[in-house]
Amino acid sequence: MKVELSDIIRRYGEAQALRGVTFSHAAEIRALVLIGPSGGGKSTLLRLLGGLEAPDGGTVRVNGRELPAHEHGLHAYRRMNGFLFQSFNLFPHYSALRNITLPLEVVHGMTPEEAQEKAESGLRRFGLYEHREKRPFELSGGQQQRVGLVRAISSKPALLLLDEPTSALDPEMTAEVLDVIKELNEEGQDIILSTHEMGFARAVADHVLFLAEGKIVEQAPGSGVFDNPQSEQAQRFLSRVMQY
């Protein structure tokens, strides 16, 4: 995966979420990890990279392609990617199975038979097949988030974008979901991840961006930001979150 950001600006009313963010890299990246304090711009940047929003200024390029600024072009780009957010975002009145087959049919144009085969294969893979007919309220948080992951990857996305996917989970459920994400990454899935799970971020990252106050304050390949943070902001943040 190649990501290039040139002077990205994003505003929400009077608030400026991203302030001239610029980034490029020479080496291929399999897992790009965004860390930093809440409100620093991680989720906004992830949404721009996934085509869920367009910047107010600057250009975003992913794998050499400049993302369009208009909704029609962004809609086509979004269909190529998979998304998982901190809230589970499952349809509450549908079964786990139908939560996966519905977007495969409606968004990706699969036949009901193709969609069911894909969904059942993913549910089996992640130990959820026996729960396929349960609705979300009948599943644990970890199970719901794993269903969300199956939904996100069933269309074989070019990018898998994960925004704080474990923030609503207890430690055991967090481990369940992180194991699945790590497995996908090891199998070659390109991932852009925003997370507060520093140990996991350090383990999977090919490149880390530390964002604060709408800017990339620091960046480095692999575990460089964790091993030797250069900025005072990164040092202060990591000393707090990795203290215990």
pTM: 0.91
- In angstroms, how far is the first alpha carbon of the chain from the final one? 33
Query: What confidence tens digit (pLDDT) does each residue in 53-96 have?
Result: 999 999 999 999 999 888 888 988 999 999 998 777 899 999 99
Paired tokens of 68? 């369009």
Query: What confidence tens digit (pLDDT) does each residue in 103-154 have?
Result: 999 999 999 999 999 999 999 998 999 999 999 999 998 899 899 999 999 9
pLDDT of 9 > 80? The answer is yes
Q: Which pLDDT score is estimated for 173?
A: 83
Paired tokens of 84? 């998982």
Q: Which pLDDT score is estimated for 165?
A: 86
Q: Residue 207: pLDDT band by 50, 70, 90 thresholds?
A: very high
Q: Which pLDDT score is estimated for 56?
A: 94
Q: Which pLDDT score is estimated for 176?
A: 85
Closest to 163 (Cα-Cα) out of 28, 19, 45, 22: 45
**150-187 b/e with 16+ CB inside 10 Å = b?**
bbbbbbebebbbbbbbbeebeeebbebbbebbeebbee
Q: Which pLDDT score is estimated for 190?
A: 95
Going from N- to C-terminal start, the domains of the chain cover: 89-156
pLDDT of 244 > 80? The answer is no
Q: Which pLDDT score is estimated for 167?
A: 81
Share of the chain above pLDDT 90, in %: 76
Alpha carbon distance 4, 227 (integer Å)? 25
Largest CA distance in the chain: 55
